[in-house]
Structure 1
Amino acid sequence: MYLYIKALHIIFVVTWFSGMFYMPRLFIYNTEAKEKPEAIRKVLHDQFSIMMKRLWYGITWPSAILTLVFGFIVMFKGSWNKVLLEPEGRWLLVKLCFVAGLYIYHFTLHKIFKQEVEGNFKYTSQQLRIWNEVATVFLISIVLLAVVKQSLSFVWGLIGLIVFIVLLMSAIRVYKLIRMKNK
C-alpha cells in the first residue's frame, strides 16, 4: 500500500507543478492582452480568466492539497519522521524547507491570480516571466534532494543552484532582447 500512496504523491506533485508552470504563462498572456484594442482586450481577458479559474481551482489547488496529504502519509508510513533530525534525515529536513517555500510561492500565485481576474495588473510581463521560473528552481532543488539524499553535498548543491539561477536569469534577459529586437 505504501508504494501506491507514494505513487499518488508523485502524481499530484506532477499535476501541481504543471499548474504552477502554466498559470504564470496565462498571467503573462493576460497582462500582454491589455495592450490590445479594447474589444480584443475584453475578449482575451474574459477567456484568460476562464482558463485561469479552471486551471487554478480544478487542477492546481486540488493537486497542492493532495500532494501535502499524500506527502505526510508517505513520510509517516516510511518512518521518515523518526530520522528527520538525524544525519541520515537531514536531506528531508532541507527538502521540507524547500516544500514550505513552494507553498509560499503557490500562495503568491493565488494572490496574483485574484488580481488578474479582477483586471488589476500589478506586474509587467517581464516580471511575471521571471516569477514563472521560481517553480523551476523549487522543482530542481526538491527532486535533487529526494533522489540524491545524503550523498548530496549541501555546499556543492547550493553552488549548483546559484549557477542554475544565474543561467536562467541570463536566458530570460536574452529572450527579452530577442523579443525587443524582433518588434
Structure 2
Amino acid sequence: MTAYDLARGLHILAVIAWMAGMLFLPRLYAYDAEQNAKPEPLRSEMQGLLRVWQTRLLRIIVNPAMILAWGFGLWLIHIDVTARGWSFLAEPWMITKLAGVVLLSGWHGFLAGQRRKIAAGTSKYSGRFWRMTNEIPFLLAIVMVLSVTTEWRFG
C-alpha cells in the first residue's frame, strides 16, 4: 500500500460520511419546519428532539467528516504535486472538482448557520424549501466524481 492509496481511501471514506450527513441534515430541517403546523405540546416535544438530532449530526458527523475530507484531499494534492508538479491543478477536471468542493463547503456553512437559526426559531425556510434543496450535495457529487474519474479536458 502506498501513501497515495491510503490517502485516497481515507478521503473517500470521509467524503462518504460528509455526504451522508449533508443529505440527511436538510431532511431533519424539513421535519422541523413541518412541526410548526402541529399543536402543542407535541410540536415542542418533536422539535426539541429534532434539534438535538440536528446538532449531533452536524457536530459529530458532518463537521468532522468535512475536516477529514479536506485534510485527506490536501494530502492527495501534496502527493500529486510532489510526483507531477503543480500543473495538474490547472486541468479543467481538477478546477471543476475544486469548484465543487468550494460550493459544497459553502452549502455546509449555510446548513450550519441555519441550524442556529432553526434553534432560535428565526429560520424563514419551509419544509418544502428543505425538500427541494436536499439534493444539492448529490448533484455536486455527481459533477465532482465524474470530473475526477474521467479527467475530462476541453477540446
Same fold flag (TM > 0.5): yes
**TM-score scaled by length of structure 1:** 0.77
Q: Which amino acid aligns with 2:38?
A: K
1:172 aligned residue: none
Whole-Å separation in 1 of the counterparts to 2:114 and 2:8: 31
Q: For residues 15-66 of structure 1, give each alpha carbon's deviation from its aligned partner in whole angstroms, at most 9, with x where no partner exists.
A: 0000000000000000001111110001001100110111000000000111
2:104 aligned residue: 102
> How many residues end up aligned between the 2 structures?
151
1:58 aligned residue: 60
Partners of 2:100 and 2:141 within 8 A in 1: no
Q: CA RMSD of the aligned region, Å?
A: 1.7
Whole-Å separation in 2 of the counterparts to 1:35 and 1:139: 34
Match of 1:34, SS? helix
The match for 1:26 among 6, 25, 28 is 28
Task: Assess, with a 3 A threshold, how the Cα gap between structure 1 residues 77 and 45 changes in structure 2: closer, same or farther.
Answer: same
2:88 aligned residue: 84
Flag structure 1 segments of 5+ consecutive residues without an equivalent: 155-183
The match for 2:38 among 36, 40, 43 is 36
Identity of aligned residues (%): 28
Whole-Å separation in 2 of the counterparts to 1:81 and 1:73: 14
The match for 1:45 among 36, 43, 47 is 47
Whole-Å separation in 1 of the counterparts to 2:92 and 2:22: 27
Q: For residues 93-144 of structure 1, give each alpha carbon's deviation from its aligned partner in whole angstroms, at most 9, with x where no partner exists.
A: 1210111111111111111111112222311111111121211211111111
Match of 2:110, SS? helix
Partners of 1:84 and 1:93 within 8 A in 2: no
Whole-Å separation in 1 of the counterparts to 2:6 and 2:88: 23
Match of 1:27, SS? helix
1:3 aligned residue: 5
**TM-score scaled by length of structure 2:** 0.91
1:71 aligned residue: 73
Q: Which amino acid aligns with 2:122?
A: N
1:175 aligned residue: none
Flag structure 2 segments of 5+ consecutive residues without an equivalent: none
